[in-house]
Structure 1
Amino acid sequence: MGRHFIKLLTIIALCFLLFLPWLLYTIEPKRQQKSLFPAETAGVSDSNGPILPLPLQIDLDKEKVQLGKKLFHDTRLSGDNKVSCSLCHIQKKGFADGLIRSKGVKGYTTSRNTPTVFNISLHFKFHWDGRTDTLENQVKKSIRGSSMGSSWEEVIDRLSQDPEYVAMFANLYPDGIQNHNVQDAIAVYERSLITPNSRFDKFLRGDRKAITEEEKDGYRLFKRFGCVSCHQGMTIGGNMFQTFGVMGDYFADRGNITKTDHGRFNVTGIERDRFLFKVPSLRNVALTAPYFHDGDAKTLKDAVHTMAKYQLGRIITEKEAELIVKFLNTLTGEYNEKSL
């Protein structure tokens, strides 16, 4: 009996030692709030981590970039001559437009929130439901889509009446103004929309002072909670699909489910693709509110809380959300060597 009692005491003592760190964490919240992570990890390099810095430059045909930019801002690509690509993709708003839904030709309202086209060339597919797999095809479908409401016959006819366009296309393309050349030029311009050299990129390249200790804490929470399982790589997203509501029914809680909420299912018709969406890039995310395909999250903190609950199954504290937001703010880069 005495021997069993000693064994029992030993087991209890071992359990106490195992749970002692957790007990200290829970009964001393004030100490934990000063620093969520051990001081000795503050300067640990993340050069081999899940997120990679963007390239500082990309080699493209500069004349095609300029032609593509001109086309991107030209309203003659739309059915009513009033809408350009740049109406919904505004540089000062992170190449989104700051609206829950965008406006197209003849008062048309888009069915989903407009995503940014910054760094879009590094994405694996395009649109929220991934219905196009090349930038050229994305341009092709957008011109004929409801927001632009045009046809390629109309576009080519209008551009062919402009001597400046005739000269620019003749200089770059042997067959001149053709729909595939318009698509190519706009796609080349979109490939130029890279935003490198964010403070976090500098941190990844070895500048340990590029971000603050709180921003580092936010990054560690971002990794510890599992955000990096979907938001990783150079674009910190944009390279996979994920169900919206992995750990909870987002749409049931939000209510008023529409056809567009079914995501990639509308493209494939495959049941497992219902509520599946392309994971958005978090590059320059501080500039592109509101968030999600439905534009339902008005602020970055709202988006963080929603993601934690429905994607990770966590109810996080205000402090944790604030730290993650601080980290996300370090992802704003430069365009044409100017800070956004």
Structure 2
Amino acid sequence: MKAPARLQLRLASAVAVLSGVLALRAMASPPEKLVAPFRSPPTASTSPRPGDTQARIALGKLLFFDARLSKNHDISCNTCHNLAAYGVDHVPVSTGHHGRKGRRNSPTVYNIGGFVAQFWDGRAPTLEVQAEGPLFDPDEMAMPDDKRVLATLTSMPEYVKLFQKAFPREKRPVTLGNVTRAIAAFERQLTTPSRFDRFLAGDDAALTEQERQGLELFVSSGCTTCHAGPAVGGTSLQKLGLVEAYPRSKDQGRYEVTRDEEDRMKFRVPTLRNVEKTAPYLHDGSVENLPGMVRLMAKHQLGKTLTDAQVEAVVAFLHSLTGELPRRDITPPKLPQSTNQTPRPDPT
């Protein structure tokens, strides 16, 4: 065989091999029906905002970890939303100032940047509004007023410089509004990429066979009616007990905010990312394990009774949503030092 003929044969073989590889890759891509529900909805975005500069995010992290923003200097945002524990404290309801118990379970702060609203009852439209609430809640951080918050921060020269760096266009940047903007900027970038993200990106092998079966059941059963979008939740408020009334109805959810009959028992749908690591579940922290939670949701939201094998498959899929914690964020920062002007702890 002459050299040109051999070269042509080799090229033809290479093209055939390449075509086969591309065909296999195309075959390996997840079906559209399994990835479409988790794309970003048009009304929400997980992308950082233009104002979320590194200086603002760094300041937000300090504020998130600083217990001096509580009346007795013993509670920070991280107390109830422990970043090293997937953003929760693993108790039904958190303990706040003076040992007082809250009404609702503390949800994770990971992957919440694109939520339709904050808090279980959706009363805060943005992360900025949400960040202010716990500061003055008597059952949480219990600060008496914004003057105490600002007096605390302005008493420390290092904080003043950090606010000036984070908000360079403002003459007096240490404000309550900028406190919440910085905390929100920090929280918006708290994401936990997982194997499920590789699957969504086209890697069909990222999920095991059982996890894939669980995902297919999750989608076909209608779970994505509520748990959709990049966070697998957080894009709507839904009635708990949609098909079959939920037995515990003391907390009426959104209705307590709006007094609209349509909002009885409506709660913001939680993210399912890292759900394996964020027990106990529901607004009241009344469900301790994930298989039990899956059975309850199937019954009360979908009107279905799942077999043990189906529950195991769905739970396996939910495990694929467990992501990597950002090491840079979970490490407690070195906080600015208090001065003689810093308000003292107040246990009253």
Q: What is the TM-score when the length of structure 2 is the normalising length?
A: 0.79
Match of 1:189 in 2: 186
Looking at structure 1, the residues matched to 131 and 36 of structure 2 have their Cα atoms a distance apart, in angstroms, of 34
Distance 1:215 1:61, change over 3 A: same
Task: State the Cα distance separating 1:336 from its structure 2 match.
Answer: 3.2
Task: State the Cα distance separating 1:156 from its structure 2 match.
Answer: 0.6
Match of 2:165 in 1: 171
Aligned counterparts, 1:96-175, within 5 A: 96-145=88-137, 146-150=139-143, 151-173=145-167, 174=170, 175=172
Q: Is the contact between residue 53 and residue 205 of structure 1 (CA under 8 Å) also seen in structure 2?
A: no
Percent identity between matched residues is 40
Of 215, 228, 235, which residue of structure 2 is paired with 1:239? Answer: 235
Q: Is the contact between residue 52 and residue 233 of structure 1 (CA under 8 Å) also seen in structure 2?
A: yes
Of 48, 53, 59, which residue of structure 2 is paired with 1:61? Answer: 53
Aligned counterparts, 1:309-320, within 5 A: 309-320=299-310
**CA deviations over 1:253-306 (Å, ceiling 9, x no partner):** x4xx43xx1000000011111111111111111110010001111011111000
Task: State the Cα distance separating 1:48 from its structure 2 match.
Answer: 4.8
Structure 1 runs (4+) greater than 4 angstroms displaced: 41-44, 53-59
Task: State the Cα distance separating 1:143 from its structure 2 match.
Answer: 1.0
**What amino acid maps onto 1:168 in structure 2?**
L
Aligned length: 292
Distance 1:195 1:56, change over 3 A: farther
Structure 1 stretches lacking a partner, 5+ long: 1-40
Looking at structure 1, the residues matched to 225 and 47 of structure 2 have their Cα atoms a distance apart, in angstroms, of 27
Q: Is the contact between residue 29 and residue 203 of structure 2 (CA under 8 Å) also seen in structure 1?
A: no
Distance 1:87 1:328, change over 3 A: same
Match of 2:39 in 1: 52
Structure 2 stretches lacking a partner, 5+ long: 1-26, 331-348
Looking at structure 1, the residues matched to 101 and 252 of structure 2 have their Cα atoms a distance apart, in angstroms, of 18
Match of 2:205 in 1: 209
Q: Relative to structure 2, which stretch is displaced further, 329-338 or 153-162?
A: 329-338
Distance 1:56 1:273, change over 3 A: closer
Task: State the Cα distance separating 1:53 from its structure 2 match.
Answer: 7.8
Task: State the Cα distance separating 1:315 from its structure 2 match.
Answer: 1.2
Task: State the Cα distance separating 1:172 from its structure 2 match.
Answer: 2.4
**What amino acid maps onto 1:290 in structure 2?**
P
Superposition RMSD on alpha carbons, in Å?
2.2
Q: Relative to structure 2, which stretch is displaced further, 164-173 or 319-328?
A: 164-173
Q: Is the contact between residue 94 and residue 287 of structure 1 (CA under 8 Å) also seen in structure 2?
A: yes
Task: State the Cα distance separating 1:334 from its structure 2 match.
Answer: 2.7
Of 254, 258, 264, which residue of structure 1 is paired with 2:254? Answer: 264
**What amino acid maps onto 2:153 in structure 1?**
L
Partner of 2:267, secondary structure, is strand
Which protein has greater RCO, CA pairs closer than 8 Å, 6+ apart? 2
Match of 2:336 in 1: none
Task: State the Cα distance separating 1:42 from its structure 2 match.
Answer: 8.7
Q: Relative to structure 2, which stretch is displaced further, 155-164 or 173-182?
A: 173-182
**What amino acid maps onto 2:180 in structure 1?**
Q
Q: What is the TM-score when the length of structure 1 is the normalising length?
A: 0.81
Partner of 2:312, secondary structure, is helix
Looking at structure 1, the residues matched to 282 and 91 of structure 2 have their Cα atoms a distance apart, in angstroms, of 12
